[in-house]
Amino acid sequence: MDKNIVCDAIEYVKTVFKDDYSGHDYFHTLRVYKLATRIAEHENADLLTVQLAALLHDVDDVKLSPETHANKDRAVAFLREHGVSVDMIKTVCEVIDEVSFRGADSVSPKTIEGKCVQDADRLDAIGAIGIARTFAFGGSHKQAIYDPDVKPLLNMSESQYRNHVSTTLNHFYEKLFLLKDMMNTSTAKKLAEERDEYMRGFVAEFLDEWDGNR
């Protein structure tokens, strides 16, 4: 395996995500990589597996690269070109497979490495960064900021979650407020609680201002 594989993966994702404005830019991947590393060190997980899966977790995302999603063509090609063993490629791909939020169909990763990467990706969806990413996603998908007549849908299946039309403020109820209780590791749970509280304060203030109470 190439000695500089982690540095090369960082350079690779910089090129893959250079034109993304939907909240999945290069810096999202870099933050997930750093958070996943931090969690993995606390949890004694295999660092290289966690780092490679974190760096490659969105390169074949179903929304960003639907044509390579099923076989993770981009991640697999990168790992092969860097001399990673077949077994390790399989392990990294399994971790990536389990990361994504799928409404009520979300999975809890089988391995500690999967738990670290899923927690890191979810932490980056909440708190101040999460708020910014959510509105960036909403704008790039031509979604309304808020509409009091459109009610949030709870307990959605994966296909409902992927296909229904909603507002960006509803996304807090449909996904973001659920994440705190879906964290796998104690390290991430602690961070999630602080971020969740910050986000709830933001939504309360938003609704007060909307209603003209402030």
DSSP string, 137-193: HHHHTT--S--TTSPPP-S--HHHHHH----HHHHHHHTGGGGGGG--SHHHHHHHH
Phi, psi of 104 (to 5 degrees): -70, -10
Interface with ligand ADP (CB under 6 A), residue from 60, 91, 101, 192: 101
By CB under 5 A, is residue 119 in contact with Ni ion?
A: no
Q: Which is nearer to Ni ion, 121 or 174 (CB)?
A: 121
**Mask for 13-42, x = binds ligand ADP (CB under 6 A):** ----------x-------------------
The greatest distance separating any two alpha carbons of the chain, rounded to the nearest whole angstrom, comes to 60
Q: Which is nearer to ligand ADP, 82 or 200 (CB)?
A: 200
75 CB burial (10 A radius; 0-12, 13-18, 19+): buried
**Mask for 116-145, x = binds ligand ADP (CB under 6 A):** -----x---x----x--xx--xx----x--
Residues 6 or more apart whose Cβ sits within 8 Å of residue 91: 49, 111, 113
Residue 110 CB coordination number (10 Å): 11
Residue 109 binds which of ligand ADP, Ni ion, none (CB < 5-8 A, kind-dependent)? none
Interacting span for Ni ion (CB under 5 A) from 33-41, 52-60, 194-202, 205-213: 52-60
Interface with Ni ion (CB under 5 A), residue from 98, 121, 174, 196: 121
Is residue 192 within 8 Å of residue 130, measured between CB atoms? no
Binding residues for ligand ADP, rule: CB under 6 A, are 23, 100-101, 121, 125, 130, 133-134, 137-138, 143, 166, 168, 171, 175-176
